[in-house]
Amino acid sequence: MGPDVPLLNDYKQEFFLKRFPQTVLGGPRFKLGYCAPPYIYVNQIILFLTPWVLGGVGTLLYQLGIMKDYYTAALSGGLMFVTALILQMTNLYAKQKTVRVERMQIQNTLTDEDEFEFSSCVGSETVKFIIPGKKYIINTVFHSLLAGVLCGLGTWYLLPNRITLLYSNIGGTVMIFVFGWVTICIGEYSLIINTATETATFQALDTYEITALMRPFYIFVFIAVDLAHRFAVNTAILEQTNQILHIIFLFLPFLWAMGILPPLDALFLWGMEQLLEFGLGGSPMSSNTKLLVMFLISAGTAIASYFIPSTLGVILFMTGFGFILSLNLSEIGFAFKHTMISHLASSKSKNMHRGLRIQFGWREFIFYLTVLTFALIEASLLHQFAGFSSFSKASPQAIASYILIILLIIMWLLREIQRVYLFGVFRNPFYPKDVRTVTVFMEKQRRLMKVGVVRRILLTLVSPFAMIAFLSLDRSLQNLHSVSVCIGFTRIFRMVWQNTENALLDIVVVSIAQMLVFNPDLWWNRSLDTGIRLLLVGILRDRLLQFVSKLQFAIAILLTSWTEKKQRRKSTATLITLNVIFLPILLTFVAISALLSSPLLPLFTLPVFLIGFPRPIRSWPGPVGATACVCSDTVYYQQMVPSLAVALQSALAAGSLGLSLPGSHYLCRFQDRLMWILVLEKGFTYCGVNIKGLELQETSCHAAEAHRVDEIFEMAFEHQEHAKILSPNYHFGHILTPCTVLPVRLYSDARSVLSGIIDSHENLKHLKDDFIKVLVWMLVQYCYKKSKTLESPGNADKSKGGSFPENPHSGAVERSRPLREEDSFSVDTIEDWTDDSDIFDLEPSGRLKDRKEPGQLGTTPKVHLPIPGSVETRSQDVPQEMSPEDKLYRAVVLGLPAVDKGKQQEVLPQVEFSCCYSELLSIPEEWRTAPVPTSKVNEMRQRFPEEWYHFTLSQLDFFHLKEKPSNLLEDLMKDKALKDLYIHGVLSCCFGLFGLDNTVPAPSHVFRAYTGGIPWSVGLDWLTGKPELFQLALKAFRYTFKLMVDKASLGPVENFKELANYLEEYENDWYIGLVSDLEWQQAVLQEKPYLFSLGHDPNMGIYTGRVLTLQELLVQVGKLNDEAVRGQWANLSWELLYATNDDEERYSIQAHPVLLRNLTVQAADPPLGYPIYSSELLHLPLF
């Protein structure tokens, strides 16, 4: 696709132009896709202005001095409530009136809007079109009541006298009164009449009609400030705030239309997350429930600390609860629950929970208890004996500051030295060069691993205790019952454990500021205690990092829109020029989005920047890992994720992935696999992540971006053997910065073309002989394993009915008549007919009865011995319950000649073994009934590999037999009857797979036999009637094909021992089959060491082999620009949920080698993204 692909197709453009004016005005539909009567528009205008009219009545009465202000508000609100109820009742009446008609209508699900046929100004269709109504009766009442309150308070808010008191300007009063009422009318219309689709959409579905409350909520926020100003004591800051908000109130429709103000669900989740992180020192949570619970507990802790009467008690309380709340409480609770169930519940419950991984045991409990004890002792002692001195260059707190500065520098260096690039710019000279194999990497990585261990100790144990020492010595803690102390110190005492690195940086910054600024009269020292200073520094640090990251993202879009030729559109030069001219506005947008911690939204990923609405750090509303576009390739991610999680655990603990915070994104690459990692929560010695797997079937866009990812990683890890020291990162500015490589146990995927092997006449000539050998080995192993359930020949006789079918007639078994050599595929093998059969009798009833009872296939049919010289007759009754398939089968053989039934079957004596133990290896009798001619049996006797058969028997040990003769194996080898059974069993399988001719199979036939797609034949029909034998034959053929490939690649097999080793290896360590098999996926999950599959490319006409090898290999990991991901996801949400631009070839999903636009879209949560795998929250212990 070219760069000038339309941003929206023609249909979506028309749809967007209809939807956006409706969003701006709050719901009125003035632009329809069809012609509507004028009264449709007039009615909407009247309903839109109704709140203004009702509020105007109250305003007029107040201005004339007839009523007081609160009475006018009550009057306007009451009128609006009654009006809203009447409108909702009108809608219900219209629905009931046309309910029968509606049930008869066939809705067209392909249209975005239904076309209404209007009959009159107040007709049913008109009412339903203008007032869609509410889904729930409770919302009908609640929204009507809310509309009345909104209108009443809005009247009070916009009283002209009140506005004049604020501004003392008639012109300003008129402007605020007019446009303020427009804002209220928009809010009322969306609440009562018709809720507009919001550009700020967080949830795909509005199940509980929360969207209608969004605009009234923001109006109530502005009114609440005005009410506070009215009833509170005269406060200058409240008055100034009220004046500013009255002006911003006029721009609320613009903010709603631009999607800057978040919907209510996103607003509350974002607000709790921000308060928990920056106000209470916690971490963002991976689910809404955990976020709410943690917020309430943390807020309760801060409030409780206010009422503690002693400073020592405050110190101990804050230190203890700060440590406890920073732990992984959900996993600790789960472990406790598991322990209680294990002790109290039944054995069934124990077995049910035994496979779960419990990461919290006695070792962790003792460790945490020890750390908590030492922290409490340190805090109490330091505060008691050295906590009353003021800060000076030689005070104890200053000494603790020096230690913290040194710790920060050391930990910062130890973190950077483990990454492949220093600061993302220069290559690290200490990082191993040309990393390709695990052994070489681990050998070169030893020194860096020691560095990681040192950093882990400093981070986990040394730094928190040093910071507690600094905080315990602070004089601000002497101020009891202070809100600022409770908030500030509760936050930092928890942050010391929850986010140690950032807490260390904040304390160092505050310490340096204290050392440089000793003036007690300065605002910094006079008005703020240490806790509030740390809070302000923490917010400033976070917003500054966000600003830099967002600015990098904006610059990357601006530059690549011109430098990347495939991204250069006709409008690119104009857009870049406008961004340069309005650079201050662009910087303001970036600053506001950083201040709100909301994504910077590039519209259609063009250099057109908007401020996205604030949302939780995980960007999506659904539970983590709940949905994914599962396919056959998902299994490869399921297999590798546990090993990848262990490797991530070590890398995060050592710091080789850089500063990982909630909201950090990482990209892992191995061969055709791409893993997207999102850090969701982090605390003391744990980290919660979500791992997603992207599709393996690469499209052109996916392949282009994956190729650029490979280039970046190869430049960083594989092409550095002759690079200069401190060589630059040639991909600096890309959203992906390489970090390190991780050893992960996974499958490597090797594909090869089998030309010269599968089409080699020499290889194909030996294929049948090898198949006979493999099948003999397979049958012997099958019977031997089956015999392990039997302890002796006596037991074998008792259980023969279950294992080996027993003939109910003494001394005789029934066997199908051997085919004549000249009619091997004669219809005589399908059905036999008697001379007395009626020509209209499609099939003898006896045959029907045999076919009707599949459960009897494993038993020997009943023998009917004819009277000599007579012709046997059968009943002509046709059963009523005949299936269509039976009728078709009967119709195929209609009109065949009659056959003398007396010659159909011959009576053979029962197989008599010379060795009494041969029955243990006997082939089931139903496997001996293949309709093959006697000449072919004799021919198979000559081809039968007797020496290989003897060698296979000699490898059996029969350890499961309690008593066995010493010459057991020799007797088995000498038993000719047993050998004849195997000859016939092998011949039956060869007959089913190859037929009875001796020609060399063609490559196409080999491929069909491997896949189980052989064309129908009599032999195959018999073989598939024995499912267990067919699976054995198919498995033996696949082993044979793999043996042919190995012989062609590694050389011929020298002896029987080597051949047996091959087959045992195939049996134990390989799965040989098809990628589409269910067993293939099971083998991957069971971590079979090797898997082999045969494939065919019909376009190129070649056969391919695919080998998966399980081994520990290096996975490359890079850190993504968090804000680039959030910005692209924000645009994706707007584009799909609001503009409904789901075109698979849209511009915003095309390949972008720098922004990785296509991969980023894939990694979004369904239904907007389409990862093929998404893990649940993975808790990684970091100690």
The position carrying tokens 């996205």 is 612
CA distances 1126 to 373, 704, 1149, Å, are: 41, 22, 15
- Alpha-carbon span 606 to 1146, nearest angstrom: 13
> Which strand (E) or helix (H) includes residue 753?
strand 736-753
CA 952 → CA 43, 336, 947, distances in Å?
93, 55, 9
Phi, psi angle pair for 1104, to nearest 5°: -125, 150
Separation of alpha carbons 385 and 397, rounded Å = 13
pTM for this predicted structure: 0.85
Tokens of 703: 């392949």
pLDDT tens by residue, 913-955: 778 878 888 888 888 788 888 888 888 888 888 899 999 988 8
Read off the tokens for 109.
Answer: 């699900």
Q: Which two tokens stand for residue 17?
A: 């132009």
User: What are the distances in angstroms from CA 541 to CA 498, 503, 610, 1124?
Assistant: 16, 11, 23, 19
Summarised one tens digit per residue, pLDDT across range 769-815 is 899 999 999 999 988 888 876 654 444 443 333 333 333 333 333 33
Per mean pLDDT, which range of 161-175, 225-239, 712-726, 793-807 is the poorest?
793-807
- Among 543, 695, 565, residue whose Cα is nearest residue 631: 695
pLDDT of residue 919: 83
Per the prediction, the chain carries an average pLDDT of 84
Residue 1066 has pLDDT above 90, yes or no: yes
Average pLDDT on 724-746 reads: 89
Whether 112 contacts 14, CB under 8 Å: no
Q: Which of 369-383, 399-413, 868-882, 995-1009 has the lowest mean pLDDT?
A: 868-882
Q: Give the per-residue pLDDT at 246.
A: 94
What's the pLDDT tens digit per position in 184-236? 999 999 999 999 999 999 998 888 899 999 999 999 999 999 999 988 877 88
Helix (H) or strand (E) holding 752: strand 736-753
| Residue 809: predicted pLDDT | 36
Give 1039's contacts (C-beta < 8 A, 6+ positions apart): 774, 778, 1063, 1066, 1072
Cβ-proximal residues to 679 (8 Å cutoff; 6+ apart), any chain = 660, 661, 662, 663, 664, 665, 666, 687, 688, 689
pLDDT per residue as tens digits for the range 483-500: 888 999 999 999 999 999
Separation CA 391–CA 518 (nearest Å):
9
Handedness of CA 52, 58, 62, 68 (dihedral sign): negative
- 87-90-96-99 Cα dihedral, nearest 10 degrees: -70
786 vs 829, residue with greater confidence: 786
Please give the backbone phi and psi of residue 910, each rounded to the nearest 5 degrees, phi first: -65, 145
- The pLDDT tens digits of the residues spanning 1115-1163 come to 999 999 999 999 999 999 999 999 998 888 888 888 999 999 999 999 9
**pLDDT > 90 in the chain, percent:** 53
What does R_g of the chain's alpha carbons equal in angstroms?
A: 40
Which of these ranges, 66-80, 221-235, 631-645, 842-856, has the smallest mean pLDDT? 842-856
Measured in degrees and rounded to the nearest 5, phi and psi for residue 905 equal -125, 145
Give the pLDDT band of residue 1081 (cuts 50, 70, 90): very high
> Is residue 774 classed as helix, strand or coil in its secondary structure?
helix
Place of tokens 């009576």: 907
Residue from 270, 294, 264, 265 nearest 282 by CA: 294
Q: How deeply is 523 buried, as exposed, middle or buried, from its count of CB atoms within 10 A (0-12, 13-18, 19+)? A: exposed
Query: How many whole angstroms separate alpha carbon 1135 and alpha carbon 454?
Result: 47
Task: Compute how many other C-beta atoms are within 10 angstroms of the C-beta atom of residue 21.
Answer: 14
Which class for 1087: exposed (0-12), middle (13-18), buried (19 or more C-beta within 10 A)?
middle
Res 696 pLDDT > 60: yes
The pLDDT value given to residue 870: 38
Q: What is the pLDDT of residues 94-140, one digit of tens each?
A: 888 775 444 444 434 334 455 667 888 888 888 889 999 898 999 99
Locate 574 and state its tokens: 């104009």
Pair type for strands 600-602 and 609-611: antiparallel
Residue at token pair 């002759």? 722
Confidence band for 600, pLDDT divided at 50, 70 and 90: very high
**Predicted confidence band of residue 468 (pLDDT cuts 50, 70, 90):** very high
Q: Which of 457, 540, 455 is nearest to 505 (CA)?
A: 540
Count of alpha carbons within 13 angstroms of residue 87, beta-carbon side: 32
Q: What single string gives the DSSP state of each residue in 999-1028?
A: PPPPHHHHHHHHHT-PPP-HHHHHHHTSHH
The answer to whether the CB of 887 falls within 8 A of the CB of 842 is yes
Q: Between vectors from CA 1126 to CA 664 and to CA 25, what angle results, nearest 5°?
A: 150
Mutual angle of helices 976-994 and 934-943, in 10-degree steps: 110
From CA 868, how far away is CA 384, in angstroms rounded?
118
Q: Is the peptide bond before 884 cis (omega within 30 degrees of 0)?
A: no
| Whole-angstrom distance, CA of residue 472 vs CA of residue 982 | 86
pLDDT digits (tens, 9 = 90+) for 658-678: 999 999 999 999 988 999 999
Backbone φ, ψ for residue 1073 (5° rounding) = -170, -140
In whole angstroms, what is the distance from residue 21 CA to residue 30 CA?
8
Q: How many helices (H) and strands (E) does the chain have?
A: 46, 15
DSSP one-letter code for 1120: E
Q: Is 74 helix (H, G, I), strand (E, B) or coil?
A: helix
268-282, 381-395, 620-634, 844-858 — which one is most confidently predicted on average? Answer: 268-282
For residue 881, what pLDDT is reported? 43
The pLDDT value recorded for residue 958 is 80
Average pLDDT over residues 637-665: 94
Picking from 189, 215, 151, 180, the residue whose alpha carbon sits closest to that of residue 27 is: 189
Taking the C-alpha atoms of residue 266 and residue 272, their distance in angstroms, rounded to an integer, is: 10
Q: What are the φ and ψ backbone dihedral angles of 813, each rounded to 5 degrees?
A: -125, 155
Alpha helices in 894-1016 (DSSP H): 934-943, 946-954, 968-974, 976-994, 1003-1011
